[in-house]
Structure 1
Amino acid sequence: MLQTLLRHTSSRKLLALLLIELATLAVGSVSSTASQRYNPNAVRINKCCERFEVMLDGKCTMAETINATVWVPQFTGRNGEQDVQVEAIRYIIGAPDCGSMQKWPIFHYDKSEDKLILFPDGQLRHLILDPHARDEPEEEWDQLYGASIRTEAPFQYDYQQGQYCLDKALNSNERQPEGMYATVCSPEKAIRWTDSDFMLRKIINPISHGIAMIILLVVAIVYFVLPTLRDLVGNIVTSITVCLIVSQAADLVRIFTEFSNHVSFIIADSFFYISLLGAFFWLNSMGYYIWRTFRARNVFLRVTDGRKYCWYSVYAWGATATMAAIAIFSHFFLDSPGDGSKKNSSIFENQETIGWLGIAVFFTPIAFIIIVNIFFYVTTQRFLNRMSTYGRIHHKLKCNFIMFALIFLIMGTSWLFLILSWLHYDALLYTHIVVNALQAPCILWVCVLRQKHITFLLKKSCCYNEPTQTTDWGDEMTYMNGGDY
């Protein structure tokens, strides 16, 4: 009995000693881990994914599942030294908290223009090299890369800790399978409102869009309110101006990138391209109507304008809807995201724009419409040159023909500079902004201010407070026969 009691007492002491030793080891390991985690000399590195994850095709994926190695930071010295060693590293997991600033994705791979350089103090530098330098030999490329680190490059941005996150990037479809990915906070202080580029892009351009919408709305109201202008050509002009108003509004939405979290870029792009395509289809209807009327033996005006407008509406809106459906289908089902064919001009996360294939489907019909309208203009001009006498109806048709030619010139020029603005040249983009700002005032001058019979009707309706005559030609012929076409 005594021996059994002694054995139980010794076993209890032994168990107590074991528990004390385990607790000591646990406390020691925790303290050592805590001291390592909160080491004041540890360099904080913001990692986009977890420690055991890498970024595959834009998504955080466990490295073991794809037989990949996790990302290990490599530091570069301020003078270009490679593989600089640091005392300790402390990972901060997750995307940066940018607050009101925008998030900007950056990809770094072999011989890319964008370079991500991590300094030993935890600062990240985004270096943008000359895009033509990628064709140089490997030795010259390395010299250029090292020189850009040591000197102040013309395009470089530094991000402090907390303003970025880095990780290893893998891509299963691209030619560059491995690289680095970073999400950075676009610094608000880097953009000053006094800069000429910022003034043109973010201030003058939106203001010109707003003024253009007001001017085009005035033209649409004039042609909709005055009874003598509500013929087929007048209704077509109203439809063209409404389409241009929608395109200007959609383009205005695309300018204000600060609202990217609330507005889908692909919806704004769709409205912009569809409305622009509809405007050109209505312009084509106007040119066909004038060309066909001049070639007809018997010319009658305002007899079946309502029915004709319905026919042209079926053509214009039907063709626009058909081409828009084909373009959107091509974007979602035929434009592969892996072959680089998508436009992807959006710099924001989870924002998609219309791809190049969809834009080609939208703009190819416009190119054909321009060719057909040139044919309408040339053949109609030849017919006018052979005419020796003009009647009252032909006077109005000639006025409409000149208006069609001028609107066609204005819209064609604006469309051409829109395409040129996609090239990576600031001068072409600035020219497009100026041309787009002049488009609406030119249409106002062509459709309203240039034609004296319209200004006469406006004065008679507004200034003299007299009712406008519903006849097609009355006192207005006095102004048209004076040579103002």
Structure 2
Amino acid sequence: MQAFLIILVMITTTASLCDEDYSVKKVQTSSDGINTSAFTDGTKRDCECSEKVCARKCCPLGTGYVLEEKKCVPVLDGFNPPVWEEHTLLKGYNATENMYFLIGKMNCTRDKGEIRIPLEPAIDTYHLRTDGELYVDIPSNIPPVIIYKPDKYCIDTFVNEKNETQLNALICFVTKPDNNNYALSSSCMLISCFFILLTVAVYAFLPELRNLHGMVLMAYLLSFFVGFLFFATMQILILRKEISQEECTVLTFIIYFSLLSAFFWLNVMCYDIWWTFSGKRATSGRHGSVMKRFCCYAGYAFGVPTVLTVILGALEFSDLPMQHPLLPKLRLQGCFLYGTSKLIYLYGPIVVLCVANLIFFTLTAIKIAQIKRDTEMLRSKDSSTHDQDRKDTQRMNLSCSRFSLYVKLFAVMGVNWILEVVSSFYPEADFFWQFSDAYNVLVGLIIFIIFVCKKKTFKLIKKRVTGCRKVNTNHNEVNNFHNKIISRWRDGERNASVETFKTLDGVDTRTGSNGIVQL
């Protein structure tokens, strides 16, 4: 005989195959081990949900739930909840025939800070989907739409004090969002922003670093800085519950544009270093030529993200049906991109850029190996062009050093976004989120170490500071000399005036008819 009991509210670990929340406890029955998991308490459970879509009913069939008394009572109403395919109600769909209903209230004690609440009015706030998940609409929440799996909800016929019935649901509602993750993540991003801004300040302070390479790097870092700063701001506002859905949407567009711009500038770096070693670049280092190339790079690095951001906004506010895969659903999912939208509009372009960067790096590495091989062959021969060879070698070493910096930067950002992608696929892995947030601190610090903490940079800073002091000293000396000259001139003028008056006293003067003193 097979009996179905209410799912136990406990935390257990399965030995294999299926989760306790999606299985049915079996009592007094034999089993061949197929679709069965053993639990630490010695019970056996059948994995019914591996063969059929599962949903959850609060009470056994033929009974309803009394919320005030928290008990199940017999009801005459049949149980056949409406089922939806995305946002379309399926007419004629029989839920009890096409779904398997797990019996019993869900476990809301697994995650701290969760309670059971009723949804009223039921028909306006939730609907059951064909995959067994409950789609819940809470307009005051960010995101306003939450999707619950069968282990976090139960649906049933609810009976009130007047003995009236209504289809309703209980959900595990998180009374306190995961504030620790938001607080840690925003703090880490702000720390990283400090080091990024410090790196930009060093490059802006040193004229020797304000070449094409330096300007591209500063543009990349500033784009990254803006993205991190606004992302941290958004999380802080969510944490303090001081943000509206409209503000979320605006911040999403700013962050999206900034992060994409950063990756396009990284792509510019990879292209530029490949162009340098390809031998196609002109040797002219004139300021006009450098600025022209930088403007071309800026048009690409800011232009393409602008187009992508406009497309994102146009699709978001378009008349596409809710179930359309290209609809970003920014206003439904809360702040920033989630799920399929994030995969298409953010990870998609980033993956394309990363593949292109790897191609540029590979071609550059091959070219460097070829140049080194040719250089060694020239050194082995007697040549009258040793000076030119030495200059070429120095130029190549400088370019190789820059290539090494770009590879390190690409590796740092690659690890950062691998962590971001993995954490998106496993949102409940708190430890992984904390590790990813901690790495966000290291991103800015590592960038600062790679591009600033070098002997050459320190020497340039020392030279610049010493030069500024000398300029100030010379300026002070010039001012002092100027003041002395003015002082002596004034003293001389005063003395000259006194002598003039003395001379006039000893000379016969007479006044003309016009009143002018005549000598």
Q: Note the alpha carbon deviations across 1:413-466, whole angstroms, 9 max, x for none.
A: 2122222222233243223212222111111111111x3211211122236755
Structure 2 match to 1:138: 100
Q: Note the alpha carbon deviations across 1:58-111, whole angstroms, 9 max, x for none.
A: xxxxxxxxxxxxxxx962475641369xxxxxxxxxxxxxxxxxxxxxxxx789
* 1:261 CA drift (Å): 3.1
Amino acid of the structure 2 residue aligned with 1:261: S
Structure 1 match to 2:507: none
CA distance in 2, matches of 1:262, 1:402: 43
Confirm or deny: 8 A CA contact 2:188 2:441 kept in the other structure. Answer: yes
CA distance in 1, matches of 2:292, 2:109: 68
Confirm or deny: 8 A CA contact 2:192 2:444 kept in the other structure. Answer: yes
* 1:204 CA drift (Å): 2.5
SS in 1 for 2:452: helix
Give the paired residue count. 336
Structure 1 match to 2:396: 394
Matched, 1:425 2:428: yes
Residues 289 and 255 (structure 1 numbering): CA distance in 2 closer, same or farther, change over 3 Å?
A: same
Q: Note the alpha carbon deviations across 1:169-222, whole angstroms, 9 max, x for none.
A: 258998579998778999999659xxxx644x1332222111111111111111
CA distance in 2, matches of 1:83, 1:183: 34
Structure 1 match to 2:121: 167
CA distance in 1, matches of 2:398, 2:135: 66
Structure 1 match to 2:456: 453
Confirm or deny: 8 A CA contact 1:414 1:439 kept in the other structure. Answer: yes
Residues 425 and 110 (structure 1 numbering): CA distance in 2 closer, same or farther, change over 3 Å?
A: farther
CA distance in 1, matches of 2:247, 2:227: 16
Percent identity over the alignment?
A: 17
Structure 2 match to 1:296: 279
Matched, 1:382 2:366: yes
**Cα RMSD, aligned residues only:** 4.3
Which one has the largest radius of gyration?
A: 2
* 1:281 CA drift (Å): 0.9
Structure 2 match to 1:405: 407
Alignment of 1:185-204 (within 5 A): 191=176, 198-199=179-180, 201-204=181-184
Alignment of 1:4-403 (within 5 A): 75-76=66-67, 80-82=71-73, 138=100, 141-142=102-103, 145-146=104-105, 148=106, 157-158=114-115, 166-170=120-124, 175=129, 191=176, 198-199=179-180, 201-256=181-236, 257=238, 258-261=241-244, 264-296=247-279, 300=283, 302-303=285-286, 304-333=289-318, 336-338=321-323, 353-354=336-337, 356-357=340-341, 360-388=344-372, 389=375, 391-403=393-405
CA distance in 1, matches of 2:136, 2:261: 43
Confirm or deny: 8 A CA contact 1:331 1:354 kept in the other structure. Answer: no
CA distance in 1, matches of 2:246, 2:318: 23
CA distance in 2, matches of 1:181, 1:296: 59
**Aligned counterpart in structure 2 of residue 435 of structure 1, from 432, 439, 455:** 439
Amino acid of the structure 2 residue aligned with 1:448: V
CA distance in 1, matches of 2:409, 2:255: 19
Confirm or deny: 8 A CA contact 1:326 1:361 kept in the other structure. Answer: no
* 1:411 CA drift (Å): 1.5
Residues 79 and 174 (structure 1 numbering): CA distance in 2 closer, same or farther, change over 3 Å?
A: closer
Structure 1 match to 2:14: none
**Superposition TM-score, scaled by structure 1 size:** 0.59
CA distance in 2, matches of 1:459, 1:428: 42
CA distance in 1, matches of 2:271, 2:126: 51
CA distance in 2, matches of 1:343, 1:78: 43
Amino acid of the structure 2 residue aligned with 1:458: I
SS in 1 for 2:121: strand
What stretches of structure 2 of length at least 5 have no aligned partner?
A: 1-63, 76-80, 85-95, 143-171, 376-391, 472-519
Amino acid of the structure 2 residue aligned with 1:405: V
What stretches of structure 1 of length at least 5 have no aligned partner?
A: 1-72, 85-108, 113-133, 469-485
Residues 463 and 203 (structure 1 numbering): CA distance in 2 closer, same or farther, change over 3 Å?
A: farther
Q: Which stretch of the first structure deviates more once superposed, 306-315 or 230-239?
A: 306-315
Amino acid of the structure 1 residue aligned with 2:458: T
Confirm or deny: 8 A CA contact 1:414 1:436 kept in the other structure. Answer: yes
CA distance in 2, matches of 1:401, 1:245: 23
Amino acid of the structure 2 residue aligned with 1:440: G
Confirm or deny: 8 A CA contact 1:76 1:82 kept in the other structure. Answer: no
Confirm or deny: 8 A CA contact 2:234 2:251 kept in the other structure. Answer: yes
Confirm or deny: 8 A CA contact 1:220 1:242 kept in the other structure. Answer: yes
Structure 2 match to 1:43: none
Amino acid of the structure 1 residue aligned with 2:259: L
Structure 2 match to 1:416: 418
Q: Which stretch of the first structure deviates more once superposed, 205-214 or 168-177?
A: 168-177
CA distance in 2, matches of 1:185, 1:173: 17
SS in 2 for 1:203: helix
Residues 425 and 244 (structure 1 numbering): CA distance in 2 closer, same or farther, change over 3 Å?
A: same
SS in 2 for 1:264: helix
Residues 432 and 173 (structure 1 numbering): CA distance in 2 closer, same or farther, change over 3 Å?
A: same
SS in 2 for 1:425: coil
CA distance in 2, matches of 1:291, 1:263: 43
Residues 82 and 455 (structure 1 numbering): CA distance in 2 closer, same or farther, change over 3 Å?
A: farther
Q: Note the alpha carbon deviations across 1:151-179, whole angstroms, 9 max, x for none.
A: 9665674479xxx8721325899857999
Confirm or deny: 8 A CA contact 2:270 2:360 kept in the other structure. Answer: yes
* 1:375 CA drift (Å): 0.9
